[in-house]
Amino acid sequence: MNRTRPPRDASRAGSGDGTATRSRAGTAYGKALGLLARREHSRAELKTKLARGGHAADEAEAAIASLDSGALQSDARFAAALARSRAGQGYGPRRIVAELKSHAIGEALIREALAELDVDWAAAARRQLERQYGAGAGRAASPRDRARQAGFLLRRGFDGPTVGAVTRTDSGGEDDGSD
């Protein structure tokens, strides 16, 4: 059976010629608000997305300033949320700092976001090793295995002393077999 749709109600459809005034959702403010409704965004990230959406730089800046003044956008809140998320995913502090810098977050906000985290980085690194290499990881028998595990943790963003302590490759660690 071939069904056709009834005609659109002309009173709701508008003129259809594209000259209808832009709704608030079509403005830079509306677009930015919609993005923030989904997740936190940094000021720089919003500016980039609005520019890609065809909004003028001055319109985007005004929209972001308005959102900022209304406490709807906050780089500090974004930094804290991203740091919590990445730490929960098993990334180390160096990776988190690099990602926050890529979002144009200032040094002071980065330090504050990391300070708010209550993370034992060595324990987090051990959990990542066990997740990747199984129970007993970190006590690899061969130097090659230890180097592979250390490389894995370094790529995840853990610092050298933490990686050394967890993989037992530092000179002050437990029995490393070299005396």
Q: For residue 9, tell me if it sits in a domain.
A: no
Q: For residue 3, tell me if it sits in a domain.
A: no
Nearest to 55 by CA among 81, 22, 18: 22
Above 90 in pLDDT, residue 17?
A: no
Query: Tens of pLDDT along 62-116?
Result: 999 999 888 899 999 999 999 999 999 999 999 999 999 999 999 999 999 999 9
Q: Give the integer Cα–Cα distance in Å for 90 and 153.
A: 10
CATH number at residue 63: 1.10.10.10
68 to each of 16, 75, 82, 124, 134, how far by Cα in Å? 35, 9, 18, 34, 46
Query: How many domains does one find in the chain?
Result: 3
Give residue 32's domain range.
24-69
Q: Are residues 83 and 57 in the same domain?
A: no
Q: For residue 179, tell me if it sits in a domain.
A: no
Q: What is the pLDDT of residue 167?
A: 86
φ and ψ at 76, to 5 degrees?
Answer: -65, -45
Query: Tens of pLDDT along 126-155?
Result: 999 989 888 777 676 788 888 899 999 999
Above 50 in pLDDT, residue 13?
A: no
Give the angle 81-70-107 at the CA atoms, nearest 5°.
40
